[in-house]
Amino acid sequence: MVNPANPAGLLGVVLLARHGDRLEFFQDPLTYNPTQTFLTPLGSVQEFRLGGFLRNTYINPFSSHSIQGISTDLANIDQLVVRADAAGEGNVIQDSVQGLLQGLYPPTHDSNVTLANGTTIVGPLGGYQYIPIESVQPDLDISLNSFTSCPNFDQHTLGFYASNPFQQVAAQAAPFLQQLAPFLVNRSIDFTNMFKIFDFVNVQRIHNATFLHLLPPTFGQQAYGFANFHENGVFTDTSIRGIGDIAIRTILPSIFTSLTRIANSSDPLKLALNEISYKPFISLFNVTGASTVDPGIAGIVDYAAVVALEVSQPPGTSTPLVTLKFKNGTDTEFRTLSLFGTRGGVPLSSFISALAPAAVNNTQQWCTACNQTTLRGCSVFH
Ligand SMILES: *[C@@H]1O[C@H](CO)[C@@H](O)[C@H](O)[C@H]1NC(C)=O
Ligand SMILES: *[C@@H]1O[C@H](CO)[C@@H](O)[C@H](O)[C@H]1NC(C)=O
Ligand SMILES: *[C@@H]1O[C@H](CO)[C@@H](O)[C@H](O)[C@H]1NC(C)=O
Ligand SMILES: *[C@@H]1O[C@H](CO)[C@@H](O)[C@H](O)[C@H]1NC(C)=O
Ligand SMILES: *[C@@H]1O[C@H](CO)[C@@H](O)[C@H](O)[C@H]1NC(C)=O
Ligand SMILES: *[C@@H]1O[C@H](CO)[C@@H](O)[C@H](O)[C@H]1NC(C)=O
Ligand SMILES: *[C@@H]1O[C@H](CO)[C@@H](O)[C@H](O)[C@H]1NC(C)=O
Ligand SMILES: *[C@@H]1O[C@H](CO)[C@@H](O)[C@H](O)[C@H]1NC(C)=O
Ligand SMILES: *[C@@H]1O[C@H](CO)[C@@H](O)[C@H](O)[C@H]1NC(C)=O
């Protein structure tokens, strides 16, 4: 069965989703080079629930906001594109997308085949659906993880660390970090290390009962606030063409392609999902001006947070519109964010023309933007 048209005229959606709960994550404060970590069962549940939320919103035939023409129970793989960042964090992002898809298209007895001898066989686990996932390998495709091995980005990060605003907030944070130090088991309390400090506190608060009991109640939120300032400075830039926004600039081309395909009624694509880390969200909210209008979203989105770029064309209208929506991990519904100062839909053509100048369209352009001459496939251009 497929969904009929409804008054919202929703043609499809491009989604960016963050992975779920994982164990501690070490990344170098300068290069953001990652180390291994693991998705937890809680993380899988968060992703599964996110998949269920997206199913109820976009696929359930009783939703007032369902995507017209999308297959309801049996996934039609021509309608879907699924990509997941395979860089860093071990398999956290790859495993997360599996959980999300299990909630999006749960097992169904419709996933069956009738054999020549007349017997009908339902797939395993009650009709589990295997949806293809493109694993985006960082050495073959820079698009979902473009902020590592990027010397100009490292320069930008160093510049932020040397800036007055950074020094001022570092001075404000210093007394708090002194108080926090006994909980940090010898981790550096230098403010450049603020992401790791927050991540350690956050992971321990979720997984270590002793730690949760001992930590003063406001410390988690304070660490989060300082880490948000830190990461927002690293992953934004004053110009949308600045290297600080590289995390989203390399994803823009695939967003444009997916939005354009969704708006094309001859093309079957309805839902494009990108499973990623928290960094591109910060840059997306910066280049669209969304976090300038809503400063509360500037920072590290929760586990299993999701951004939706919806393409709609209400009946009787001729211009497809793009609307930016966001759901933090624990929120129960989407909120509409502002795009270039407009809260609501902007024409697809305007969306693309506003952001096209920021797009980094291929590896060669990325090598140039980063001043990278050897790694990630850049040596062939020299
Ligand atoms: C097999 O799938 C079809 C739809 O594709 C459904 O109508 C039918 O009931 C399913 N058969 C079984 C045995 O579940
Ligand atoms: C039909 O073929 C399948 C697969 O070989 C087998 O499992 C099933 O027992 C067969 N059914 C009958 C009625 O022979
Ligand atoms: C912390 O650092 C001190 C001094 O370098 C060292 O003596 C101690 O063993 C370290 N503690 C842990 C838990 O690593
Ligand atoms: C849990 O937290 C306590 C208190 O900070 C600490 O002593 C202990 O080593 C932690 N346990 C683990 C497994 O990290
Ligand atoms: C729309 O999609 C069809 C089918 O994929 C394709 O042939 C056609 O070129 C597309 N139109 C545009 C304007 O891209
Ligand atoms: C992006 O963030 C920077 C701060 O890092 C800010 O100066 C700039 O105005 C923001 N961009 C937009 C389009 O709001
Ligand atoms: C996400 O929700 C948490 C509460 O769970 C809140 O502290 C945080 O500010 C929110 N972040 C964003 C980006 O909305
Ligand atoms: C990437 O392509 C867009 C058109 O979609 C163009 O506007 C932009 O300048 C290109 N980026 C670079 C770095 O050439
Ligand atoms: C690019 O990096 C090289 C070192 O690999 C350096 O000498 C050069 O100045 C850099 N160029 C720019 C424009 O930053």
What is the C-alpha to C-alpha distance for residues 5 and 317, in angstroms, rounded to an integer?
Answer: 14
Atom of ligand 9 nearest to the CA of 151: 2
Do residues 279 and 133 both lie within one domain? Answer: yes
In this predicted structure, the answer to whether residue 35 has a pLDDT above a threshold of 70 is no
Task: Evaluate whether 358 touches 250 at the Cβ level (below 8 Å).
Answer: no
Does residue 375 sit within a domain?
no
Atom of ligand 1 nearest to the CA of 110: 2
Identify the CATH number of the domain in which residue 350 sits.
3.40.50.1240
| 291 Cα–ligand 8 center, Å | 24
Place 33 in a pLDDT band, splitting at 50, 70 and 90: low
pLDDT at 8: 79
Q: Is the CB of 302 under 6 A from ligand 7?
A: yes
Do residues 192 and 85 both lie within one domain? Answer: no
pLDDT at 314: 87
Do residues 204 and 329 both lie within one domain? Answer: no
Do residues 30 and 114 both lie within one domain? Answer: yes
List the domain range (segments joined by +) for residue 299: 10-147+250-365
In angstroms, the first-to-last Cα distance of the chain is 53
Do residues 134 and 168 both lie within one domain? Answer: no
Among 205, 234, 263, the domain boundary falls at 234
Q: Which helix (H) or strand (E) holds 112?
A: strand 112-114
| Most ligand 3 atoms within 8 A of CB, residue of 183, 184, 185, 186 to mutate | 186
Do residues 220 and 90 both lie within one domain? Answer: no
Task: Evaluate whether 334 touches 327 at the Cβ level (below 8 Å).
Answer: yes
Average pLDDT, the chain: 94
Do residues 23 and 102 both lie within one domain? Answer: yes
Do residues 51 and 174 both lie within one domain? Answer: no
Does residue 24 sit within a domain?
yes
Does residue 178 sit within a domain?
yes
Does residue 3 sit within a domain?
no
Nearest CA to 138 among 186, 88, 73? 88
Do residues 31 and 140 both lie within one domain? Answer: yes
Other CB atoms within 10 A of residue 78 CB: 11
Does residue 206 sit within a domain?
yes
Nearest CA to 276 among 297, 253, 307, 232? 307
Does residue 1 sit within a domain?
no
Ligand nearest to the CA of 185: 3
| 75 Cα–ligand 2 center, Å | 26
Do residues 215 and 336 both lie within one domain? Answer: no
Do residues 187 and 328 both lie within one domain? Answer: no
Residue 365's alpha-carbon distances to 110, 147, 166, 240, in angstroms, are: 45, 14, 30, 16
Q: For the ranges 5-9, 173-177, 265-269, 374-378, which has the lowest average pLDDT? A: 5-9
Percentage of the residues of the chain whose pLDDT score is greater than 90: 87
Q: How many folded domains does the chain comprise?
A: 2
Does residue 221 sit within a domain?
yes
pLDDT at 369: 97
Task: Give residue-wise pLDDT tens across range 310-359.
Answer: 999 988 888 999 999 999 988 999 999 999 999 989 999 999 999 999 99
Percentage of the residues of the chain whose pLDDT score is greater than 70: 97
Q: Which two tokens stand for residue 206?
A: 């979720």
Ligand nearest to the CA of 1: 1
Q: What are the helix (H) ranges across 68-150?
A: 92-104, 124-127
pLDDT at 246: 98
Does residue 381 sit within a domain?
no
Do residues 138 and 158 both lie within one domain? Answer: no
In this predicted structure, the answer to whether residue 88 has a pLDDT above a threshold of 90 is no
Among 234, 261, 283, the domain boundary falls at 234
pLDDT at 315: 85
